[in-house]
Structure 1
Amino acid sequence: MRRIDYVIWYVESLQRSVAFYRDVLGLEVRVEGDGYVEFTMDNTKFALFERGKLTELIGRPGGNPPCGEIGFIVDDVDAEADRLRQTGVEILTGPVDRPWRERTVHIADPDGNIVEFAQKL
């Protein structure tokens, strides 16, 4: 059986993005170093990597966001949306019930990558 081991967002400003994921979304920093920050997660690794260091890592720069979406399961999407609004985050869509039996809300991180919060219905 295959599983996702990790997700890394390439970000323009590591400091700005860490502040967003730590202070706005409430994730706890687990590992930091050399343009890399990893957050404490139960089921996978989620990290940020400074886009300016990509040429050292892969020999070329990364793409332009939004390049993808990361989703978090929450108990109450409406409460999460209210909390996000209170921090000044722009809600892109939702909260809305989806045909796949989830209630979702979408926001963008500082680099324009999409972050979804979903509640199972």
Structure 2
Amino acid sequence: MEIGYVILYVGELERSVAFYRDVVGLAYKFTDAGYAEFDAGGVRFGLYERRRAEWLTGHDVTPGAGGEVVVMVDGVDAYAERLAAAGVQVLSGPVDRPWGHRTVHVADPDGFVVEFAEEIPRARQRR
């Protein structure tokens, strides 16, 4: 078994495409019929217009209700500076986490949390 896609339902597709392409830095692949896709390594990362979600799911979808997208990067502090310069509100960080990540958290245009993380030495060992 493997995860093939991660898809977020978004309010304004073009606004979210611009965020994930221009701010997050994911490689944009295409847009078609209310869906946009990015190159995210081994998993397909997509955005789908929330107004079309009822057709797929049979009910309304609430955006940003929980969870987060984690983007692994080198140099999280530089990303934090770039995000702030782009006018993105930083929710937390940069901060070292005991599980071995240095992180900064922001919200995307629909309120989904996006974490930028780089690996650092673990301060706490797993049990």
| Aligned positions of 1:69-80 closer than 5 A | 69-80=68-79
What is the match of residue 89 of structure 1? Answer: 88
Q: Is 2:53 the counterpart of 1:22?
A: no
List structure 1 segments (4+ residues) > 6 angstroms apart after TM superposition: none
Q: Say which SS state the counterpart of residue 29 (structure 2) adopts.
A: strand
Q: Residue 10 of structure 2 contacts residue 48 of structure 2 at CA under 8 Å; is this kept in 1?
A: yes
RMSD between aligned residues: 1.1
Identity of aligned pairs, percent? Answer: 51
Please, which runs of 5 or more residues in structure 2 have no aligned partner? 121-127
2:43 partner letter: T
Asked which structure has the greater CA Rg, the reply is 2
Residues 41-120 of structure 1 aligned to structure 2 (within 5 Å) = 41-120=40-119
> What letter matches 1:95 in structure 2?
P
Q: Would you say the 8 A contact 1:66–1:114 is kept in 2?
A: no
Provide the secondary structure at the position in 2 that maps to 1:65.
Answer: coil
Partner of 1:10: 9
1:64 CA displacement? 3.6
Q: What is the CA-CA distance between 1:28 and the residue it aligns to?
A: 2.0
Figure out how many residues of one structure are paired with residues of the other and give that number: 120
Could you tell me how far apart the structure 2 residues matched to 1:88 and 1:64 are? 21
| C-alpha distance in 2 between matches for 1:28 and 1:69 | 19
